[in-house]
Structure 1
Amino acid sequence: MDSKKAGASLDSLISAFSARIVELQELVIARNMYPASSITDLSAVDAALKAMELQVQTIKGRVRDETLAIPKAKKLIDASLKQQKKLQSMSIYVPSHVPQRLSTTETSKPDACFGSLKLEEEPAAPTKEKKGRSPPPLWFITEDELDSLSSYMKGRLTLEKVNAAINDMATYAEANAQIIAAPKKKLAENLWEKALELRDIASTEAVKGKNFFLESDIKGPALKLDNTGKAILTVLRHLGRISETRIGHHRVMILLKPH
């Protein structure tokens, strides 16, 4: 209730009570003409007046409390609207599809027929991978960055598509980092050769200490080696999110921190 409307309603109510009181006073005067029979009536009138006074005081108290609460309610509404705008501005940077990160490396039990064979010495994983390695960061692009591209480069790409691809790239890099860090006995047999290749790539000067993935890792769900995927990679190279190098027969994509 608005404070002005509440005040007007209270004034009307008080005026009605005042008119009623005047009528009762006139009735008392009339009753005084017969004092012997008016004592009971006067007591009833007095009780009614006191009850009405209490009602008026109660109404005043409630109106006062509601009037004081109006500024607090307005502040809460303003704060809620600001929070809503912040959440809406943040939501445009979050892709609709965010797959879970890999939590464990694919493992397999050694086959019994190979149990007696002596396997080759497994090379040690890089020291940094053993000491609380953090997952690859997600450096999403902003609407302003996408709008800064030429229409020819941007094509039909949307912010959601590009950021979903960035999420996929971080997932590929995380999977490779886990394979590199895993000891041989915990790796599936079909991953051992890939682990050796990844460790060789990770030890090169261009890649050492960085998060990376291979072109052969690109298998979706958002980033694929189709025309859209190639356009996304071109945009991300232009915006400084990835760099590309060739090591052996592999095309290696390195995740970069935006400047």
Structure 2
Amino acid sequence: MDLKQAGSSLDSLISSFNTRIAELQELVIARNMYPASSVTDLSAIDAALKGMELQVKAIKDRLHEETEAIPKAKKLIAKSLRQQKKLQSMSVYAPSYLPERTATLNLDSDRGLVPEACKQQPNQSTMVEEPAAIPKEKKSRGSPPLWYITAGELDSLSSYMRGRLTLEKVNAAINDMATYAEANAHLIAAPKKKLAENQWERALELRDIATTESIKGKHFFLESDMKGPSLKLDNTGKAILTVLRHLGRISETRMGHHRVIILLKPQ
């Protein structure tokens, strides 16, 4: 082997070593950049990406459901607006206040419930025979009705009949009539032992009226009950009765010396 060949072989060997060293250096650098622990990190990233994909899919499904629900929501809104208009139109006809019904028998200051002991005389030895009570009706009348009139009904009346009456005055009078009728119903149903002597006589009169064929099962009051606060036995009260009779809210009849006003359901 001559010197040239030996030098060439040595250069080739050195070059081969240098190439191998460079490759090893690159491998070391790559190993430092992507250590074995990075496999776990990549798995976690992959799991997070899959979770995000599922969330995005759920959001898309929810948006699709909401989009389909929009037409139904629009229909509900339209129905609510129509109902609101109906309620607003009804509120125009209702009176500005609705007083609470108080079932009381004390229409006059001299009327009131008295204990049984107050009605007995200290030296009374004989019992006064009580009149036979009229059997109670099987079905209760319930609360008196409140059939208010509307502005259209009031406007439909002639000017001479309507006069200076307002919708609020007439409907407030209807409240009073229901209160009178309810007080009479309680008086009719009350037992004798809970009533004063003058109340018992009135209760018997009311029971006689209540059992009349034309009045049986209906709510009623007497003309003498009209003592306010809104309905009184004056010119305004008589005008209100005329209007309500014309509009079919009441009817009137005579029972002895009493003028009876019967509450009616409008036709």
Shorter chain as denominator, the TM-score bin is 0.5 to 0.7
Match of residue 92 from structure 1? 92
The Cα shift of 1:59 comes to: 7.6
Match of residue 109 from structure 1? 115
- Give CA-to-partner distance per residue, 1:48-99, whole Å, 9 cap, x none: xx89x96987886675455334323322321221221232233334332232
SS at 2:183's partner residue?
helix
SS at 2:262's partner residue?
strand
Q: Structure 2 matches for 1:1-259, cutoff 5 A?
A: 64=64, 66-95=66-95, 96-102=97-103, 107-110=113-116, 111=118, 113-114=120-121, 116=124, 118-125=127-134, 127=135, 129-135=136-142, 136-204=144-212, 206-259=214-267
The Cα shift of 1:191 comes to: 0.9
- Give CA-to-partner distance per residue, 1:105-150, whole Å, 9 cap, x none: 963212175263523322312x3x3423122333332333222211
The Cα shift of 1:257 comes to: 3.0
The Cα shift of 1:206 comes to: 4.8
CA–CA distance in structure 1, aligned partners of residues 212 and 87 of structure 2: 42
1:122–1:184: 8 Å Cα contact kept in structure 2?
A: no
- The residue type paired with residue 94 of structure 1 is A
2:148–2:171: 8 Å Cα contact kept in structure 1?
A: yes
The Cα shift of 1:233 comes to: 0.6
CA–CA distance in structure 2, aligned partners of residues 232 and 104 of structure 1: 24
Match of residue 25 from structure 1? none
Residues 244 and 57 of structure 1, relative CA distance in 2, 3 Å threshold: closer
Residues 119 and 88 of structure 1, relative CA distance in 2, 3 Å threshold: farther
- The residue type paired with residue 164 of structure 2 is R
- Once the two structures are overlaid, the 10-residue window that deviates more, 229-238 or 246-255, is 246-255
CA–CA distance in structure 1, aligned partners of residues 246 and 178 of structure 2: 18
CA–CA distance in structure 2, aligned partners of residues 153 and 196 of structure 1: 36
* TM-score normalised according to structure 1 size: 0.66
2:165–2:240: 8 Å Cα contact kept in structure 1?
A: yes
The Cα shift of 1:216 comes to: 1.2
- Give CA-to-partner distance per residue, 1:207-235, whole Å, 9 cap, x none: 44432211111122332223332221110
SS at 1:134's partner residue?
coil
Residues 59 and 207 of structure 1, relative CA distance in 2, 3 Å threshold: closer
The Cα shift of 1:202 comes to: 3.1
- The residue type paired with residue 154 of structure 2 is L
* TM-score normalised according to structure 2 size: 0.65
CA–CA distance in structure 2, aligned partners of residues 57 and 244 of structure 1: 75
Gaps in structure 2 of 5+ consecutive residues:
1-28, 35-44, 107-111
- Once the two structures are overlaid, the 10-residue window that deviates more, 242-251 or 104-113, is 104-113
- Once the two structures are overlaid, the 10-residue window that deviates more, 82-91 or 53-62, is 53-62
Equivalent residues, number: 222
Question: RMSD value over aligned CA atoms?
Answer: 3.8
The Cα shift of 1:166 comes to: 1.8
CA–CA distance in structure 1, aligned partners of residues 75 and 205 of structure 2: 60
What's the % identity of the aligned pairs? 66
SS at 2:132's partner residue?
coil
SS at 2:129's partner residue?
coil
CA–CA distance in structure 2, aligned partners of residues 104 and 225 of structure 1: 19
2:141–2:217: 8 Å Cα contact kept in structure 1?
A: no
- Give CA-to-partner distance per residue, 1:148-178, whole Å, 9 cap, x none: 2112212232333322322221221221122
SS at 1:114's partner residue?
coil
